[in-house]
Amino acid sequence: MKFDKEQLQMVLALFVVAVIAATLLGLTDIFTRGPIAAAEKEALHSALAQVLPAHANDAQADMFVIGREKQALSIYPGKDKAGRLNGFAWEVTAPDGYAGSIRILVGLYPDGKIHAIRVTGHKETPGLGDGIVNNAGWLAAFAGQELDSRNWKVKKDGGDFDQFTGATITPRAVVKAVKGALAFFASKRELMLAAVAEEKEQP
């Protein structure tokens, strides 16, 4: 195939532009990778501080994984000053939010009661569905509850949790996901406690 001069110029111009753009992006990635990881760690740290009972350890450093491959789940244990386990936190995903999935950090006491939950990622409608982030009263309704202490549905579905004016789907998804987390904990409690105990033995 033969190119005339004009075509070669076009190809060359686009090639040069693409190479320069790619170089700039690569450089930016090098410079921002560290700060982005640090910022994400910091964000997780402050979220963990909210959902775990008062703890003295670095929950991120003590993180352990249960399950394998696709089922793998990172669990953040909280420990008091004496090193005794006093809480678990992990992230669950509600796939059925109004606009995509909702990520929720759930914090439990070792006996399976909820300490607190926080939404860490969502795309719900501002002013409607985002009450799951900034409606403190609604979030507080989860504190101290366990799997059997509540009917884990929104009131519209006959349950114990408020929906929001104009937004039922979002809180429904969150309540369902938190219930799922509690059920998960009930079935994996022994495993988690064993994992923490094991970690203690091999410092």
Partner 1 sequence: MTKSEVFFDGFWHNNAIFAQLLGMCPLLGVTTSAGNGFWMGAATVLVLLGSNLVVSLVRGVIPKNVRIPAYITIIAAFVTIVGMAMNAWMHEMYLVLGLFIPLIVVNCAILGRAEAFASKNSISDSLVDALAVGSGFTFALVLLGGVRELFGQGAIFGITVFGDSYPDMLMFILPPGAFIALGFILAGVNLINRKLKARAQQQAQMVQMQTVQTEAVEAHS
Residues that bind partner 1 (CB under 8 A): 6, 9-10, 13-14, 17-18, 20-21, 24-25, 28-29, 31-32, 34-36, 39-40, 42-43, 121, 123, 125-128, 165-166
At closest approach, how far in Å is the CB of 47 from partner 1?
Answer: 11
Which residue, 121 or 180, is less far from partner 1 as judged by CB?
121
Which residue, 38 or 183, is less far from partner 1 as judged by CB?
38
Which residue, 29 or 198, is less far from partner 1 as judged by CB?
29
What does the block give as tokens for 185?
Answer: 């904990």
Specify whether the CB–CB gap between 70 and 76 falls below 8 A.
no
Specify whether the CB–CB gap between 176 and 169 falls below 8 A.
no
Q: Which parts of 31-172 are beta strand (E)?
A: 64-66, 73-79, 85-97, 100-108, 114-121
Which residue, 63 or 133, is less far from partner 1 as judged by CB?
133
Which residue, 10 or 197, is less far from partner 1 as judged by CB?
10
At closest approach, how far in Å is the CB of 159 from partner 1?
Answer: 24
Which residue, 46 or 149, is less far from partner 1 as judged by CB?
46
At closest approach, how far in Å is the CB of 150 from partner 1?
Answer: 28
Position 166, amino acid: G
At closest approach, how far in Å is the CB of 181 from partner 1?
Answer: 22
Neighbours of 152 (CB within 10 A): 20
CA distances from 168 to 99, 116, 155, 163, 179 (A): 12, 21, 9, 5, 17
Q: Residue 111, Cα to own-chain centre: how many angstroms?
A: 21
Specify whether the CB–CB gap between 105 and 114 falls below 8 A.
no
At closest approach, how far in Å is the CB of 75 from partner 1?
Answer: 23
At closest approach, how far in Å is the CB of 132 from partner 1?
Answer: 14
* Residue whose C-alpha is closest to residue 180's, from 73, 51, 63, 61: 73
